[in-house]
């Protein structure tokens, strides 16, 4: 039986595919949001574009997958309201893109993975963390949740109008800031992202994966030629 080997991906001595690049990363997303009738929802698509350094690597490859992700959500800043106000922030993850984002912290807390933090605004801009948020809350997303429990195993690095978001985004993170008052307070947030992303299918940075698929020849397995020895007459 013929087993093709010439075009098969080579593996290193440790068993890893040499065509897969494994990149650790660490970055911070910090900002302030303005509540609309006491609520604000921020959506972070889990894709290479979430960070500039990761996006630079993605430009050299056709496929990606996050294999580990830790999100540390720090206590929100002052609400800046004159009246007493309790604010809750929920950071939640779903491994498939959804059409409708959660509208409240309670809805976000029911998602696949979530953490909750918050504070009570006492007087003016002074704030005090609630008792259950004296420790920084961490959302741990394992390889099982990110990849093995997902419908896909790899995702397309460069967004394309010809491809469904399902094949480009490895899930979504939602940061829901929820107040007990129908206020328009300004609340800060800080999320520390740390994890590992893998890239596969190396390509020229001038080509998107879709262009490469259309313009590059399909790899062909070489034909096998059977030769028979003929005995001399």
- Sorted by where each begins, the domain ranges of the chain are 21-201
Confidence of residue 128 (pLDDT cuts 50, 70, 90): low
Q: Assign a CATH topology to domain 21-201.
A: Jelly Rolls (2.60.120)
Confidence of residue 198 (pLDDT cuts 50, 70, 90): very high
Of 132, 138, 129, 113, the closest CA to residue 75 belongs to 129
Mean pLDDT of 191-196: 96
Helices and strands counted in the chain (H then E): 4, 10
User: What is the longest distance spanned by two Cα atoms in the chain?
Assistant: 108
Residue of higher predicted confidence among 59 and 159: 59
**Half-sphere exposure of residue 91: CA atoms within 13 angstroms, side-chain side:** 24
User: In this structure, are residues 181 and 81 in contact, taking their beta carbons and an 8 Å threshold?
Assistant: yes
The pLDDT, as a whole number, for residue 100 is 87
Give, in order, the Cα–Cα distances in Å from 190 to each of 15, 22, 94, 168.
Answer: 38, 26, 20, 26
The pLDDT, as a whole number, for residue 85 is 74
Residue of higher predicted confidence among 126 and 183: 183
CB-CB neighbours of 139 under 10 Å: 18
Mean pLDDT of 186-212: 81
pTM of the model: 0.75
Confidence of residue 212 (pLDDT cuts 50, 70, 90): very low
The pLDDT, as a whole number, for residue 179 is 85
The pLDDT, as a whole number, for residue 219 is 38
Burial grade of 114 (CB within 10 A; 0-12, 13-18, 19 or more): buried
Q: Which residue bears the tokens 């394309």?
A: 160
The pLDDT, as a whole number, for residue 115 is 92
The pLDDT, as a whole number, for residue 159 is 74
Confidence of residue 45 (pLDDT cuts 50, 70, 90): very high
Q: How far apart are CA 11 and CA 19, in angstroms?
A: 8
The pLDDT, as a whole number, for residue 135 is 64
The token duo for 73 is 């959500």
104 has a pLDDT exceeding 80: yes
């Amino acid at each position: 039986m013929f087993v093709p080997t010439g075009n098969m991906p080579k593996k290193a001595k440790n068993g890893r595919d040499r065509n897969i690049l494994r990149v650790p990363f660490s970055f911070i997303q910090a900002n302030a949001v303005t509540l609309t009738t006491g609520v604000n929802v921020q959506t972070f698509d889990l894709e290479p574009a979430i960070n500039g350094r990761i996006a630079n690597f993605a430009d050299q490859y056709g496929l990606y997958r996050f294999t580990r992700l830790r999100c540390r959500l720090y206590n929100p800043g002052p609400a800046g309201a004159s009246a007493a106000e309790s604010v809750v922030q929920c950071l939640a993850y779903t491994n498939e893109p959804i059409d409708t984002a959660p509208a409240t912290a309670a809805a976000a807390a029911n998602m696949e993975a979530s953490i909750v933090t918050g504070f009570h605004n006492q007087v003016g801009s002074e704030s005090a963390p609630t008792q259950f948020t004296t420790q920084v809350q961490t959302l741990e997303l394992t390889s099982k949740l990110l990849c093995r429990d997902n419908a896909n195993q790899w995702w397309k690095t460069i967004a394309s109008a010809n491809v469904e978001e399902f094949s480009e985004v490895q899930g979504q993170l939602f940061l829901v800031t929820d107040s007990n008052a129908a206020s328009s307070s300004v609340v800060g947030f800080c999320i520390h992202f740390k994890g590992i992303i893998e890239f596969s299918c190396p390509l020229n940075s001038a080509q998107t994966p879709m262009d490469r698929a259309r313009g590059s020849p399909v790899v062909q397995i070489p034909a096998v030629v059977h030769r028979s020895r003929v005995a001399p007459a």
